[in-house]
Amino acid sequence: MNRLINALLFLCIGAAVVASFAYLGIDLGQLGDSGNLNRMGAYAQRFLSPDLSPSHLKAIGHGALETIAMSALGTLLAAVFGLVLALPAAGRFGWPMQSASRLILNALRAVPELVWAALMVLAAGLGPNAGTLALALHTTGVLGRLFAEALENTPPEPAEAIRLQGGNAVWAFCYGTLPNLMPQLLAYSLYRWENNIRMASVLGFVGAGGLGQMLYVSLSLFQEAQASTVILAMLLLVLAVDTLSSWSRQRWVKA
Amino acid sequence: MLTRDTRDPASGPRLLLCLLAFVLLWPGIHFSELDLGVLLASDSQSEMGRFVAAFWPPAHGDAFIELLLQATLQTLAIATAGMALALLFAVPASLLASRALSLSAASRGGQPGYWGQLLRWPVRGLLIFLRSVPEIVWALLFVRAVGLGPTAGVLAIAITYSGMLGKVYAEIYESVDQRPAHALLQAGSGRLTAFCYGILPNVAAELLSYTVYRWECAIRASVVMGFVGAGGLGQQMDLSLRMFAGGEVASMLLTFLVLVLLADQLSRLLRWRLA
Amino acid sequence: MTLDLTQVSVTHANGVQALRGVELHIGAGEQVAIIGPSGAGKSSLLNLLGTALPPASGEMQVLGERVWQLSARQRQRLRARIGLIHQAPPLPPRQRVVTAVLAGKLGQWGMGKSLLNLLHPLDVSGARAALTRLDLSDKLFAQCQQLSGGQLQRVGIARVLYQAPEVLLADEPVSAMDPVLAEHTLSVLCRHAREHNVTLVASLHAVDLALAHFSRIIGLRDGQILFDLPTDAVDRERLDKLYANEQLQPSPAPPSPLSVQIPRC
């Protein structure tokens, strides 16, 4: 019986795949015919000679710094707001506050960064400011939820001991809860930052600054040579972040 | 005055760290042109207010619902078709890239041969390259190459996710006990049979659950990719945003939320069922 | 009287009655040891005196105040004058010893000082002095998670010494220390209490330590006071009766170590 259900499930998955191709009307044969491949090859060839002129490299450097700054500030803002929202979301101020803040966090988290960026471009105009705000909004939702979970899992005894000595709730939190919580909060924030650098490099597609905006503009102007340099820069940025994070994780978090 | 009695050995590093953070963040504020005040400025507030006010009620005309349904189905189809194509490439690539099937490793106590290592690197490099370029960049490129529409989305997902799946699959093969496969290889079986009998039984559940989880990610990605013209819900959302049609944006956001929730539940069900 | 209990009963949240009709009066500057088998209610009695537990019935006064009729604000102010030493000091593993000790005065410090102290320890010499008395000054800047159970207990004691309360309550303060260290630590506590005219109430597992250091002994069994006598009047017979067929109880599981998890997506 179990095997039968599993076999049926695989059949369903297969059917879903076939139906998807049929619905989209993608003809892989036509896509792979020689004329089409030739056109795509010719298009790809134009990317093979990246523009490495100093002025363009300088512009890319500026774009990369903008990307990093957007992600760092977005994550920092999100960590602050996330913690502010996580306190009620962990049930510190009673259940009405808890459900309200959970609702806010879920709503912030559910809307993808790029959609937030498109909305923020409408509100704050083109440029990196919109991207920073978009990252901050989405990341607040993500970090707030993670922080609230961490907060619920911290042992309450140290904070209660401070209360028993006559300290108020704020000191109980700062001296009893925060020392245990801090490494976890840092780990979560760094992990999100790593994600956000990746996101920040593409938010520019909707006009929110950074490398993405450069790529979008140069592709729209059919400057493939310039575009390929931007893609290379993105690749380098992502690889650097990956290496750095895996190194720092081995170095700091495991210990 | 700091005497030995009152000095804190951690204060120096702490002060340095604060200074460093400040020095790094100050230009960051300049580069990101951060200005929270813009959200509170009256003109942008009134404009945003009008836009957000139009969110209610969400658009629900018959024609629009029809369009929404089409776009949602398209999004799902893009994710599924993209994953299928990605698997076609990822499975062979992961077998090539993994050290688990090294013949020389089987006879040398787990240490693969020098040449085998050298041959595996190009495949690994290709996989890393494919996954490191964000999918939306691939989508943008394919929109220029094959035109607007879902085909670009499917190809973009296929390419990025084949890199992700291939790399993770290869790592999963290496993470399990290698002795069964080595024993089979030493007994003279072929590599593929050794894989099927020695490694696959141990990794099948993890492979499946990772694939299903990635399919869920692909659905989110296909929505986002629509913003550069790769079809699906995202493309419709981009159009509505440009037309300041708040109600349409609202119902599309709601649809997106429902879609993500459903995909989450379905993937949980599949993982529970198959694992 | 510093501590006054009249016919006090305590019932835990799970319905277990920990203390029944306890009658206890302790004057200022007295040094009292509470002994008794495990599960007799020693911890409950100390937590009650430390205002961590409300009594289910009966009258209770600490430092002349009816604790549970005060407003929350007044109760916090009163609590700053009571020091409770926990058997397993609830110190955050990642906190540094110096911060943990200085946290003793949080109830007396103002807003700005407490906040600043979090970033930079303000009274290193005070913390060092408290730790030196317990022979632990070399661990001043170590993290709490690097210390052994006995060292942690001494950090907990140092924190209360630094707090300098008027009532010092100690729940098995030396249970994780070797005999020599336990002897030394108890004499430090008693001397401190004598010098500053502090009321000291300690629960102890080791009867010989209680007899050697305290002038008044209270025997507790099944949530009731079996005897309350000067040390000279405690004889073999009473002790045998106190500890008659004591049941072995499993020790509580140690708290799980802190782990940092990272989600995948």
pLDDT at C77 over 70: yes
Distance CA A166, CA C80 (A): 4
* Dihedral over Cα of C253, C255, C257, C260: its sign: positive
Q: What is the pLDDT of residue B261?
A: 85
Shared domain for A182 and A213, answered yes or no, is yes
The mean of the pLDDT values for chain C is 86
Q: Which of C96, C141, C265 faces B217 most closely, judged by CB atoms?
A: C265
What's the burial of B122, exposed, middle or buried (CB within 10 Å: 0-12/13-18/19+)?
Answer: exposed
Q: Does B14 contact C120 at a Cβ distance shorter than 8 Å?
A: yes
Shared domain for A21 and A95, answered yes or no, is no
Shared domain for A60 and A41, answered yes or no, is no
Q: Which amino acid is at A58?
A: K
Query: Residues B100-143: pLDDT tens digits?
Result: 777 776 666 666 667 777 888 889 889 988 888 888 889 988 88
Shared domain for A92 and A30, answered yes or no, is no
Please, which pLDDT band fits residue C198 given cuts at 50, 70 and 90?
Answer: very high
What are residue C218's DSSP bridge partners? C34, C228
Q: Is B6 within 8 Å of chain C by CB?
A: yes
Shared domain for A100 and A119, answered yes or no, is yes
Chains that touch C (3 or more CB pairs under 8 A): A, B
DSSP alpha helices (H): ranges in C88-148?
97-102, 111-119, 124-133
Tell me the DSSP string of B166-220. Answer: HHHHHHHHHHS--HHHHHHHHTT--HHHHIIIIIHHHHHHHHHHHHHHHHHHHHH
Identify which has the larger pLDDT, A31 or B24: B24
Chain C residues whose beta carbon lies within 8 Å of the beta carbon of residue B17:
none
Please, which pLDDT band fits residue A50 given cuts at 50, 70 and 90?
Answer: confident
Distance CA B7, CA B3 (A): 6
Phi then psi for residue C183, to 5 deg, are -55, -50
pLDDT at B1 over 50: no
Q: Which of C78, C107, C118 faces A174 most closely, judged by CB atoms?
A: C118
Chain B residues whose beta carbon lies within 8 Å of the beta carbon of residue C119:
14
Chosen for mutation from B33, B217, B236, B258 (greatest number of chain A CBs closer than 10 Å) is B33
Chain C residues whose beta carbon lies within 8 Å of the beta carbon of residue B7:
124
> H/E element holding C207?
helix C207-213
Q: CATH no. for residue A134?
A: 1.10.3720.10
ipTM of the shown complex:
0.82
Chain B residues whose beta carbon lies within 8 Å of the beta carbon of residue A132:
32-34
pLDDT at C259 over 60: no
Chain A residues whose beta carbon lies within 8 Å of the beta carbon of residue C95:
158, 175, 179-180
Number of domains in chain A: 2
Distance CA A52, CA B111 (A): 41
Please, which pLDDT band fits residue B4 given cuts at 50, 70 and 90?
Answer: low
Q: Is B7 within 8 Å of chain C by CB?
A: yes
DSSP code at position B221: H
Question: Domain range holding A21?
Answer: 2-45
Please, which pLDDT band fits residue C205 given cuts at 50, 70 and 90?
Answer: confident
Shared domain for A149 and A221, answered yes or no, is yes
pLDDT at B222 over 50: yes
> H/E element holding C193?
helix C179-195
The full length of chain B comes to 275
Shared domain for A149 and A90, answered yes or no, is yes
Q: Is A199 within 8 Å of chain C by CB?
A: no
Average pLDDT over residues A13-36: 82
Chain A residues whose beta carbon lies within 8 Å of the beta carbon of residue B54:
none
> Any idea which fold C1-81+166-175+197-243 has?
Rossmann fold (3.40.50)
Which A-chain residues 99-138 have CB contacts (< 8 A) with chain B?
110-112, 114-115, 118-119, 122-125, 127-129, 131-133
Q: What is the pLDDT of residue C67?
A: 87
Q: What is the pLDDT of residue C184?
A: 93
Distance CA B227, CA A212 (A): 13
Please, which pLDDT band fits residue C109 given cuts at 50, 70 and 90?
Answer: confident
Q: Does A206 contact B140 at a Cβ distance shorter than 8 Å?
A: no
pLDDT at B2 over 50: no
Query: Residues A209-237: pLDDT tens digits?
Result: 889 999 999 988 888 889 999 999 999 99
Q: Where are the domains of chain C?
A: 1-81+166-175+197-243, 87-164
> Quick check: pTM over 0.80?
no
Query: Residues A97-115: pLDDT tens digits?
Result: 999 999 999 889 888 888 8
Q: Does C108 contact A187 at a Cβ distance shorter than 8 Å?
A: no
Q: Does B140 contact A69 at a Cβ distance shorter than 8 Å?
A: no
Distance CA C63, CA C2 (A): 5
Tell me the DSSP string of chain A. Answer: -HHHHHHHHHHHHHHHHHHHHHHHT--HHHHTSHHHHHHHHHHHHTTSS----HHHHHHHHHHHHHHHHHHHHHHHHHHHHHHHHHHHHTTTT-HHHHHHHHHHHHHHHHS-HHHHHHHHHHHH-SSHHHHHHHHHHHHHHHHHHHHHHHHHHS-SHHHHHHHHTT--HHHIIIIIIHHHHHHHHHHHHHHHHHHHHHHHHHHGGGT--SHHHHHHHHHHTT-HHHHHHHHHHHHHHHHHHHHHHHHHIIIII--
Q: What is the pLDDT of residue B154?
A: 92
Give B8 to chain A, closest Cα distance, Å: 18
Which A-chain residues 206-225 have CB contacts (< 8 A) with chain C?
none
Distance CA A180, CA A174 (A): 10
pLDDT at B190 over 60: yes
Count Cβ–Cβ pairs < 8 Å, chain A vs chain B. 155
CATH 1.10.3720.10 fits B62-274, yes or no: yes
Shared domain for A29 and A10, answered yes or no, is yes
Q: Answer whether C237's CB lies under 8 Å from C28's CB.
A: no
Chain A residues whose beta carbon lies within 8 Å of the beta carbon of residue C258:
180, 183
Q: Residue B251 is encoded by which pair of tokens?
A: 């119902």
Shared domain for A104 and A222, answered yes or no, is yes
pLDDT at C256 over 60: no
